[in-house]
Amino acid sequence: MEALKGVKILDMTHVQSGPTCTQLLAWFGADVVKVERPGVGDATRGQLRDVPDADSLYFTMLNSNKRSITLNPKKPEGSKIFTKLIQECDVMVENFAPGALDRMGFSWEKIQEINPRMIYASVKGFGPGKYEDCKVYENVAQCAGGSASTTGMLGEVPLVTGAQIGDSGTGLHLALGIVTALFHREKSGKGQRVSAAMQDGVLNLCRVKLRDQQRLSRGPLKEYSQFGEDIPFGDSTPRAGNDSGGGQPGRILKCKGWEKDPNAYTYFITQAAVWEKVCDVIGKPEWKEDENYSTPAKRLPRLNEIFDTIESWTMTKTKFEVMDICNPLDIPVGPILSLKELAEDQGLRDTNTIVEVDHPERGKYLTVGNPIKLSDSPAKVERSPLLGEHTDEILKEFCQMSDDEIKAVREAGAV
């Protein structure tokens, strides 16, 4: 059975962060009713379009398993319908710019009055304070949350990452807050506000970098490459290139074919527990007894030399051969997989992590399914809704409206 069956979500989200959250809840079985502006809809429907006049992949890949109603709560007729939807639903999720819901006439106080059991969840760029009124997009959050300052090569510009840690990452945080509040409501009978700020979400994901910031005050970060290169540390956690973020040194190394294939690389971790096996595999058995290499501490200043030597071995193998040789020896390695390789990966398709969906306007497309697997509640990934596809159905089901009443609110431009 679907884990969140019967939970009704009033989904006021748009773009990426909020939709990621409600899509997850929909995969877990919640009934997600996406409210969109009449005639316009979520702006991403029309952004980065690859098929003329069809909802973009940006939209379709973030809004699976939802129903869509068009509704303008700013119109008096729309406000009435919206009030009824608040009464009927368990959770309301939004990621508008700060204050937008209040300007629609629906403050948190008002929402609580309408439905004291309502859980009201928001994503904003920043938490309370100096920047609380700012509009924020993904890369702004990556920069303001500590990720950019610690990503990239030493001495070069800060970098943003491809993983959407600000948007999808915060959506994930928000989803956890919502199910926690639902769990709490079981006992208290009351709803509550759930807030996740993108800056806070990114910082949470950069936790280990704040760890290093504090370690820095007690001495150099010996596992960073710059330590072995005698480059002095400044007063903040530096960009560490592809150094491993933990206590086990690791690097990205070239593999066979790197000259032509931009992804012919592997990540290679010299985990202390398997150091002797690493020495054997790369043809350096003498390092096992050599006191310059035999302990992790002794190896730290020599990481560049060590990884150069390992790379001369990985360059003789493809990234998959490296995986096949190292895996049975418990040496942690990982091929750099391109999105093309991932899209074609049969294993990911078998587990419904990559799913092919059929859409009436655009035909078949690939999406990423639910990465969280529940043994008794598998997620079935369904296509995203067309704009207002379920308006009539939802007005009848949630507001008990007749066809004539629906016609009237439509003529008034409220839906």
Enumerate binding residues for ligand COA (CB under 6 A). Answer: 15-18, 35-37, 71-74, 95-97, 100, 103-104, 123-125, 135-137, 167
Closest to ligand COA by CB, 102 or 229: 102
Looking at beta carbons only, is 138 or 243 nearer to ligand COA? 138
Closest contact distance (angstroms) between CB of 71 and ligand COA is: 6
Structure token pair of residue 408: 């009237």
Q: Which residues contact 84 (CB under 8 A, 6 or more apart)?
A: 398, 399
SS3 annotation, 45-57: HHCCCCCCCCCCH
**Which residue, 29 or 41, is less far from ligand COA as judged by CB?**
41
Indicate the residue among 62 and 333 with the shorter CB distance to ligand COA. Answer: 62
Residue 142 CB, shortest distance to ligand COA, in Å, is: 12
Nearer to ligand COA, 70 or 150 (CB): 70
Instruction: For the CB of residue 247, give the shortest distance to ligand COA in the complex, in Å.
Output: 34
Question: 11, 167, 212, 243: which is the annotated catalytic residue?
Answer: 167
Q: How far apart are CA 239 and CA 126, in angstroms?
A: 24
Choice between 5 and 135, CB closer to ligand COA: 135
Alpha-carbon gap, residue 76 to 415, rounded angstroms: 11
Q: Are strands 354-359 and 363-368 parallel, antiparallel or unpaired?
A: antiparallel
- Upper half-sphere CA count for residue 42 (Cβ side, 13 Å): 32
> What secondary structure letter does DSSP report for 43?
G
Q: Where are the beta strands (DSSP E) in 221-331?
A: 250-254, 265-269
Q: Which two tokens stand for residue 352?
A: 């419904």
Distance CA 26, CA 38 (A): 23
What is the sign of the dihedral through the CA atoms of 274, 275, 277 and 278?
positive
Give the start-end residues of each E strand in 127-229: 193-197
Supply the minimum distance, in Å, between the C-beta of residue 174 and ligand COA. Answer: 10
Annotated active-site residue 167? The verdict is yes
Nearer to ligand COA, 17 or 314 (CB): 17
Shortest Å, Cβ 24 to ligand COA? 15
| CA distance linking residue 85 with residue 386, whole number of Å | 20
Q: How far is the CB of 20 from ligand COA (least distance, A)?
A: 8
State in angstroms the smallest separation of the CB of 97 from ligand COA. 3
Under 8 Å between Cβ of 78 and 12: no
Contact indicator for 395, 415 with CB cutoff of 8 Å: yes
> What gap in Å lies between CA 113 and CA 210, rounded to an integer?
41
Neighbours of 208 (CB within 10 A): 12
Nearest CA among 189, 148, 111, 175 for reference residue 372? 175
Q: Which is nearer to ligand COA, 175 or 331 (CB)?
A: 175
- Min dist. Cβ of residue 315 to ligand COA (A): 40
The DSSP line for 239-258 is P-TT--SSSS-EEEEE-TTT
Structure tokens at 115: 């439905």
Q: Are 79 and 72 in contact (CB under 8 A)?
A: no
Count CB atoms within 10 A of the CB of residue 193. Answer: 14
State the catalytic residues: 167
